């Protein structure tokens, strides 16, 4: 019998035995860098000879993995293979599917540091950020297994004499899972596991910036006993094969995490019925944010400054939940700018394989260029760089954590998602003004408020329009089961990953009503009277 769900503990790397284990994992993974990996469709390993390379963003000459570029024909084949596998996988009892996830959970725990090490090399995560990613993947696996057992149990219905009524949840069909590179294990695993534990089959197309960790996870699924064809591994250009996967008439739903632009494009394409399509495709999308932390005049400024800096620069600001706007009450604005800048300057930027590194390189050359352009735009609009602002792209894609003060509402840097280590600081005249500024973007993912005023906290609960609102704490670090995650407006479909509603997005409810013998006897008796 399963015990109560508990979040996976983060590793304390200050303990030498833990640090030693992580160093050993990094050394092991380093010896495996540069290998070539296949596509996998229905269990068959396929090589196309057309290769894409995944590079270490902190050392751009280092190849992490070499992957096959799929063709349109192979993309169609993957969907059709998953569709065929669905006929049998959908009939596997829910508790058996849950047991499979428990086996996956155990393997993930056994290889925790190794999986984290892959993320250090492939996406430039620090030890702590990689460890947090792996812990979240373990949590998703364990939590969704338990949730499937709950969904499969008897559902509460109003009783009526003479009928036996049952509500069950059945799977949808073939899902296309398109995860991001910034949580290359946790989000990728979460969407995939939610799909298969509910009885669906999957075509998994990981980001071209993080395919290696996805393949390592795919191998774990195989080891745990996932049948061939239930999950199919597909790498390649989004423009070439992504559209084919989304458009295919046998695709039943798309689970996506990424930019607003691509998410909207997927939603638009999925809404168009294809020849032979028998359903309205479902889209489960998380599309980023322009998240704000409001700092009121009545609060502990040191705690607020620490929360802002941690939220802004964890994993180089490359989190959809990251604080990219600090909205500060005018009365404490100058003091807060100073405290934020002081803490930012202490961040150690460097090689993520070094345990002392707090922040590393951004994901790729395109991001490096775009983020630096945003910094220049901010300065051109009158922004004042009070910390960072420098960049070094010689060895890797390194950008200093950058704080830009005196940003005004409506400016480019205050409105557009940068997805990098850049924090805009905005002065608000009062708390009402701060809320107005915070709500003044098209996004609505996370937000936070620091204040000791209970009335203002209550006002924020009602008026701060985000899916995840945090009071007197940072706006990053959502925990599975504790903080169901998903946002409003252009931040996505408010899917609440890691929550009790999430698996319902991958199923449909079916009601079966059966007339009972007692009901027939009662009808005959009434007729006779």
Active site residues: 286, 320
Helix, strand, or coil (residue 448): strand
For the chain, the residue count is 529
CA-to-CA distance for 228 and 240, rounded, in angstroms?
A: 25
CA-to-CA distance for 323 and 409, rounded, in angstroms?
A: 16
The string of DSSP codes covering 147-204 is HHHHHHSPPP----TTEEEEEEEEE-SEEEEE--SSSTTHHHHHHHHHHHHTT-EEEE
Q: Name, in order, each residue with C-beta under 8 angstroms of 518's C-beta and a sequence gap of 6 or more.
A: 161, 162
Q: Hey, what are 208's tokens? A: 């071209």
Q: Hey, what are 359's tokens? A: 């922040």
Q: Name, in order, each residue with C-beta under 8 angstroms of 125's C-beta and a sequence gap of 6 or more.
A: 116, 119, 133, 315, 352, 360
Q: Name, in order, each residue with C-beta under 8 angstroms of 13's C-beta and a sequence gap of 6 or more.
A: 19, 22, 127, 128, 131, 355
Place of tokens 């404490």: 332
CA-to-CA distance for 132 and 123, rounded, in angstroms?
A: 14
């Amino acid at each position: 019998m399963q015990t109560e769900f508990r979040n996976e503990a983060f590793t304390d790397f200050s303990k030498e035995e833990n640090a030693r284990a992580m160093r050993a994992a990094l050394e092991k993974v380093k010896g495996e860098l540069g290998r070539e990996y296949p596509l996998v469709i229905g269990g068959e390993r396929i090589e196309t000879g057309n290769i894409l390379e995944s590079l270490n963003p902190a050392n751009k000459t280092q190849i992490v993995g070499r992957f096959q570029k799929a063709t349109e024909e192979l993309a169609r084949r993957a969907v059709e293979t998953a569709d065929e596998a669905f006929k049998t996988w959908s009939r596997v009892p829910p508790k058996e599917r849950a047991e499979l996830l428990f086996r996956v959970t155990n393997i993930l725990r056994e290889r925790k540091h190794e999986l984290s090490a892959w993320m250090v090399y492939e996406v430039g995560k620090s030890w702590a950020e990689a460890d947090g990613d792996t812990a979240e993947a373990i949590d998703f696996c364990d939590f969704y297994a338990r949730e499937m057992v709950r969904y499969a149990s008897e559902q509460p219905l109003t009783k009526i004499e003479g009928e036996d009524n049952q509500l069950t949840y059945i799977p949808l069909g073939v899902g296309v899972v398109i995860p991001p590179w910034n949580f290359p294990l946790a989000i990728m695993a979460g969407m995939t596991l939610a799909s298969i534990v509910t009885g669906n089959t999957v075509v998994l197309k990981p980001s071209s910036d993080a395919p290696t960790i996805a393949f390592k996870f795919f191998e774990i699924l195989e080891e745990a006993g996932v049948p061939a064809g239930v999950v199919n591994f597909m790498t390649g250009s989004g423009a070439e094969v992504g559209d084919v996967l989304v458009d295919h008439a046998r695709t039943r739903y798309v689970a996506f995490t990424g930019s607003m632009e691509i998410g909207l494009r997927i939603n638009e394409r999925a809404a168009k019925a294809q020849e032979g399509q028998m359903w309205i495709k479902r889209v489960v999308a998380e599309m980023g944010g322009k998240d704000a932390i409001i700092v009121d005049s009545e609060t502990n400024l040191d705690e607020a400054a620490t929360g802002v800096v941690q939220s802004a620069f964890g994993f180089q600001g490359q989190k959809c939940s990251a604080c990219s706007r600090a909205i500060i009450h005018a009365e404490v604005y100058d003091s807060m700018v100073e405290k934020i800048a002081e803490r930012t300057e202490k961040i150690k930027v460097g090689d993520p394989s070094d345990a002392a590194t707090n922040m590393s390189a951004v994901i790729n050359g395109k991001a490096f260029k775009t983020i630096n352009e945003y910094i220049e735009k901010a300065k051109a609009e009158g922004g004042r760089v009070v910390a960072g602002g420098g960049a070094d792209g010689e060895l890797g894609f390194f950008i200093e954590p950058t704080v830009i003060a005196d940003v005004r509402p409506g400016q480019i840097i205050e409105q557009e998602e940068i997805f990098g280590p850049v924090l805009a600081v905005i002065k608000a005249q009062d708390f009402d003004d701060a809320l107005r500024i915070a709500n003044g973007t098209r996004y609505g993912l996370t937000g936070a408020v620091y204040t000791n005023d209970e009335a203002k906290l209550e006002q924020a609960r009602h008026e701060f329009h985000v899916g995840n609102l945090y009071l007197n704490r940072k706006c990053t670090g959502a925990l599975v089961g504790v903080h169901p995650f998903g946002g409003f407006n252009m931040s996505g479909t408010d899917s609440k990953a890691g929550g009790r509603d999430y698996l319902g997005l991958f199923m449909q409810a079916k009601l079966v009503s059966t007339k009972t013998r007692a009901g027939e006897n009662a009808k005959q008796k009434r007729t006779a009277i």
